[in-house]
Structure formats: structure tokens, C-alpha cells
Amino acid sequence: MSTVVLTAQAEDDLVDIACYIAEDNPEAAAGFIEKMEQICALLAASPEIGRQRAELATNLRSFPLDRYVLFSIPQKRGIEVLRVLHGARDIPSNFPTNF
């Protein structure tokens, strides 16, 4: 069975994104969260898909989700989601060396 683990930072990212989207369209916010869950299930089943992002952190991979990018690390039985960031953000500054 594949598992998805969200870091506290990833959970905060998702709450912030959902709240931002919900300001204009609550249904779109719910749809975003649903897509996120589907992508996480896909990645957990096949943790090696997505773009390698070794320049940001060891074993890090990224996968696009609308205007956002999901960053995860493959685990033995799934993935650990580290961050979910808007694609226009300064991505490297959001990955300190302690990841």
C-alpha cells in the first residue's frame, strides 16, 4: 500500500493555497485539493515520476499541479511531500540546506 506523508510546511502551504483560491471561488479551492490528493496518490504509487530536483535537495522530485509545483521525496512505500509552491515563486529560497 502506497503512503503519502505531508510535512508540516506542506500542510501549511496547502492551507494557504486553498484559502487564497477560496477567497474568489470556494468550489475551485475544493477542486484544487481534490486534484492534489489525486496527484499525491499517483506519485505515491510511482514515486520516481516527476522531475529530479537535486539542485534543491537530495532525492527531491517535482511535479506540476496547475500553477503550483508539488515537491516530494520518494520513500520506501510512497512519498513525503515537502512543499507545494506557486511556480512563480523563488523556488530555491524555499529549500534551505536542512531538507
Question: Which numeric CATH code is attached to 3-90?
Answer: 3.30.2310.20
pLDDT at 98: 52
Global pTM reads 0.90
pLDDT cut 70: percent of the chain above it: 96
Question: Which candidate, 3, 2, 7, 1, places its Cα nearest to that of 81?
Answer: 7
Q: How would residue 97 be classed by pLDDT, with cut points 50, 70 and 90? A: low
Tell me the domain boundaries of the chain. Answer: 3-90
CA pair distance 21, 34, nearest whole angstrom: 13
CA pair distance 66, 33, nearest whole angstrom: 11
pLDDT cut 90: percent of the chain above it: 79
| pLDDT tens, residue by residue, 23-36 | 999 999 999 999 99
Cα-to-chain-centroid distance, residue 7: 10
**Pair 39, 31: CB distance under 8 Å:** no
